[in-house]
Amino acid sequence: MKDLNLFSRVFPILRELVERDIKLRYRRSILGIAWTVLNPLLMMGVMLIVFLNFFRSQVENYPLYLIIGHIMYGFFSSATTIGLNAMVWNSSLIRKVYIPKAVFPISVNLSALVNFVFSAIALLIVMIITGARVYPTILLFPVAIFYLFLFTMGMSFALSALNVFFRDIEQLYRVILMAWMYMTPIFYTVDIVPDWAKWIVRANPLSMYIEYARKVIMLGEVPGVMENLYCLLPGIIMLALGGLIFHKTKDKFVLYL
């Protein structure tokens, strides 16, 4: 099969699957897609009340600081937890018809990306309410999302494949995800982290993506070449690794689902 052929075959499926995810998520909910905007705002409200007294002094616009970290981490955690089950939940399709298997993790990530775009409206609302200064560098925000997307996609490939063979990955991953959240500066700033743990937070790719976004939105700085490389490399490595695991195991999925 030629590449172009494969794309024209895969694209309609991806489109239907992404639409399916979004439709099913909001079916029977009165506010529908508005939840995607409302949810991060409400969550941010809660975190604001809880953490305001602890961290107010370090950051000039703490609500904005919070919501950037929250929606980016939210994208990562929802895309990977759903991605983890991409194969298992679609087992009825995989066992009965031929579909290029990679469409499932990819469609999950694309749906999460669509949701992310809506939740970015919440970010704009916070910027307006807090009267934040708008820097032209905010246009680089999608670059941070692109790096994050590569990483999330790689994670989803790896997790969805492993979960087919070992269903307890799901339980394990929940714990990992929680630890990961605490290793990411969502509501705290890196300088309050004790010295022995700083390197963990700094080496965490999620921290890099979130810091990148905060830099372009809140400080109006253009990240340097090295910073871009530090963001790009983990994404590419994860994608290559996840893709490799997925590719090596995909023919066996149907036997284990």
Contact residues toward another protein (CB under 8 A) are 8-9, 12-13, 15-17, 20, 23-24, 92-99, 165-168, 251, 254-256
- Of 233 and 257, the one with the shorter C-beta distance to another protein is 257
Please say whether the beta carbons of 71 and 123 come within 8 A: yes
Q: Quick one: 198 or 247, whose CB is closer to another protein?
A: 247
User: CA 129, CA 73: separation in Å to the nearest integer?
Assistant: 22
Tell me whether residue 62 or residue 104 sits nearer to another protein (CB atom): 104
Q: Minimum CB separation from another protein for residue 94, in Å?
A: 8
Let me know if 233 is exposed, middle or buried by CB neighbors in 10 A (0-12, 13-18, 19+): middle
Q: Shortest distance, CB of residue 247 to another protein, whole angstroms?
A: 13
Contacts of 213 (CB under 8 A, 6+ apart): 68, 72, 141, 144, 145
* Residue nearer to another protein on the CB measure, 176 or 219: 176
Nearer to another protein, 2 or 96 (CB): 96
Output the smallest distance, CB 32 to another protein, in A.
16
CB of 116 to another protein, least distance (A): 23
Residue matched to tokens 């704009």: 124
Q: Which is nearer to another protein, 12 or 131 (CB)?
A: 12
Q: How far is the CB of 256 from another protein (least distance, A)?
A: 7
Q: Whole-number minimum distance, CB 97 to another protein, in Å?
A: 4
CA 190 to chain centre: 21
Residue number, 214 or 250, with CB nearest to another protein: 250
Q: What minimum distance in Å lies between the beta carbon of 108 and another protein?
A: 14
